[in-house]
């Protein structure tokens, strides 16, 4: 029984509603988790999740639960069942994609018009939240399509979603269609395909006249390689109140729920920069535009601060030496990677849904103006 579903989603910073008795709901136990199948409901046109009851209880010809998870139009996740659910029907390979081996997710949507192109008919906040299932993987590779209505992505490894071996995108209510379509190229919108290690970070910062500490092993540290550097996201650690960089080990190593590195760079209260990783880091989470601000496309900087009080005005709660170093370091990075100032963002400006994050607790308008 998948009784950790709610925890997995919350650790990805998603809004979660636990439906009563979900931990004991299901058509018996699952055999394994080898795949995830994503659906849309073809339900009502209004409301966040009007189809919840039918997914939980089923209908006269098919008893519920009809999926383990539901996703509302506002990006909110509903945890419905921990056991086997009737969502897949007959599949091309029940040993991988059958109900006993696949987690099912039903997203609220009318399903009209039918399309295999883009996501124009989905609210952006819902689309971004749906994409969060990809953030649990280190690296997507070896894409292939197994039917006109399923896209299978084989995953190198999974950090948060149960060692899943594949993700299936169900783009209509049809579960079995024409047999195999080959040679479909796929690039995940969150940019998890490997291309770049930013091994020049320490040099960039030193050339700007800044004090730099290189954390041992940083040039090879990361969750695979980055796709590009299109943006810079600045954070605060919400860490201890004293010390230069007491959160360093946490940023480097992460936690049991989210493995490090959690940012490429860290900035201490004395203005000292710590170079932690050269590869992809888990700092952004679900963002408003994954093509620009996802982990694969954004350098992340964690600056030591309690983050209290929350503020969008000035920088009065930051040591001046740290603030000035933050400005100088980011200026050097944006120039080195040709990142426009408009793409230097606070985590609070790109985290989806907006309002999910408050860091950093200074004015981003003032920060960008100083660059």
pLDDT per residue over 116-163, tens digit each? 667 778 888 887 777 665 544 333 233 332 332 333 333 333 333 333
Quick one: which of 311, 347, 212, 313 has its CA closest to 271? 212
| CATH number (domain holding residue 330) | 3.40.80.10
Q: Domain count of the chain? A: 2
Does the structure show a pLDDT above 70 at 191?
no
Same domain, 116 and 162: yes
User: Is residue 187 situated within a structural domain?
Assistant: no
pLDDT digits (tens, 9 = 90+) for 63-102: 999 999 999 999 899 999 999 999 988 888 888 888 998 8
Q: How far apart are CA 122 and CA 126, in angstroms?
A: 7
Name the least confident of 134-143, 302-311, 344-353.
134-143
Domain containing 80 equals 4-141+150-168
Strands 150-155 and 166-170: antiparallel
Q: What is the pLDDT of residues 10-28, one digit of tens each?
A: 776 788 999 999 999 999 9
In a domain, 77, yes or no: yes
Half-sphere exposure of 261 (CA within 13 A, CB side): 30
Considering the domain architecture, whether residues 119 and 215 belong to the same structural domain is answered as no
Shared-domain flag, residues 208 and 316: yes
Alpha helices in the chain (DSSP H): 5-11, 52-57, 94-97, 124-135, 201-207, 248-253, 290-293, 320-336, 347-350, 364-370
Would you say residue 175 lies in a domain?
Answer: no
Query: Are 164 and 31 members of one domain?
Result: yes
pTM of the model: 0.53
What is the percent of the chain where pLDDT is above 70?
81
> Are the C-beta atoms of 306 and 333 separated by less than 8 Å?
no
**Alpha-carbon distances of 176 from 63, 97, 179, 180, 198, rounded to whole Å:** 21, 11, 8, 11, 43
Angle, CA 296 vertex, CA 116 and CA 329 arms, to 5° = 145
The verdict on residue 88 lying in a domain is yes
Same domain, 123 and 34: yes
> Does 186 map to a domain?
no
Arithmetic mean of pLDDT, 203-213: 95
Asked if 227 and 290 touch (Cβ cutoff 8 Å), the reply is: no
Q: Is residue 307 part of a domain?
A: yes
Question: Is 245 a member of any domain?
Answer: yes
Taken in order 311, 315, 321, 325, is the CA torsion positive or negative? positive
Chain segment 103-112, per-residue pLDDT in tens: 889 989 887 7
Q: What is the pLDDT of residue 323?
A: 97
Confidence of residue 264 (pLDDT cuts 50, 70, 90): very high
- Answer yes or no: is 195 within a domain: no
Say yes or no: 137 and 11 in one domain.
yes
Q: Are residues 231 and 162 in the same domain?
A: no
Nearest-10 Cα torsion for 320, 324, 325, 326: 100
User: Are residues 34 and 163 located together in one domain of the fold?
Assistant: yes
Top pLDDT among 117 and 302 is at 302
154 and 205 in a single domain? The answer is no
Cα separation, 49 vs 63, in Å, equals: 19
Asked if pLDDT for residue 184 goes beyond 50, the answer is no
Q: Answer yes or no: do 68 and 156 share one domain.
A: yes
- Identify the pLDDT of residue 135: 47
Same structural domain for residues 160 and 217?
no
Asked if residue 243 and residue 164 are part of one domain, the reply reads no
pLDDT of residue 132: 64
Whether the predicted pLDDT of 170 surpasses 80: no
Q: What percent of the chain has pLDDT over 90?
A: 53
Indicate the average pLDDT of the chain: 81
């Amino acid at each position: 029984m998948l009784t950790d579903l709610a925890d997995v989603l919350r650790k990805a910073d998603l809004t979660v509603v636990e439906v009563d008795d979900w931990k004991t709901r299901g058509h018996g136990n699952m055999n394994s988790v080898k795949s995830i199948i994503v659906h849309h409901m073809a339900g009502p046109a209004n409301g966040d999740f009007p189809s919840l009851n039918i997914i939980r209880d089923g209908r006269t010809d098919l008893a519920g639960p009809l999926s383990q998870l539901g996703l509302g139009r506002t990006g909110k996740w509903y945890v419905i069942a921990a056991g086997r659910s009737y969502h897949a029907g007959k599949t091309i390979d029940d040993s991988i994609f059958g109900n006993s081996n696949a987690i099912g997710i039903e997203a609220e949507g009318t399903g009209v018009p039918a399309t295999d192109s883009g996501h124009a008919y989905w609210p952006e906040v819902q689309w971004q939240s749906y994409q969060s299932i990809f953030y649990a993987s280190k690296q997507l590779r070896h894409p292939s399509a197994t039917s006109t209505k399923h896209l299978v992505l084989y995953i190198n490894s999974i950090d948060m979603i149960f060692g899943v071996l594949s993700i299936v995108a169900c783009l209509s209510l049809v579960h079995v269609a024409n047999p195999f379509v080959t040679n479909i190229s796929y690039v995940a919108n969150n940019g998890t395909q490997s291309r770049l290690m930013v091994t020049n970070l320490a040099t960039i910062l030193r050339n700007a006249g800044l004090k730099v500490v290189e954390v041992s092993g940083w040039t090879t540290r990361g969750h695979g390689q980055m796709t590009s550097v299109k943006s810079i996201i600045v954070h605060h650690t919400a860490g201890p109140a004293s010390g230069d960089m007491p959160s360093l080990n946490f940023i480097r190593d992460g936690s049991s729920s989210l493995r490090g590195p959690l940012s490429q760079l860290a900035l201490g209260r004395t203005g000292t920069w710590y170079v932690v990783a050269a590869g992809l880091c888990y700092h952004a989470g679900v963002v408003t535009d994954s093509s620009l601000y996802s982990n694969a496309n954004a350098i992340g900087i964690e600056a030591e601060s309690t983050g209290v009080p929350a503020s969008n005005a000035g920088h009065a709660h930051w040591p001046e030496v740290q603030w000035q170093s933050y400005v100088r370091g980011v200026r050097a990075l944006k120039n080195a990677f040709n990142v426009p100032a408009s793409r230097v963002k606070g985590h609070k400006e790109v985290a989806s849904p907006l309002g999910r994050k408050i860091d950093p607790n200074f004015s981003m308008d003032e920060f960008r103006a100083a660059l």
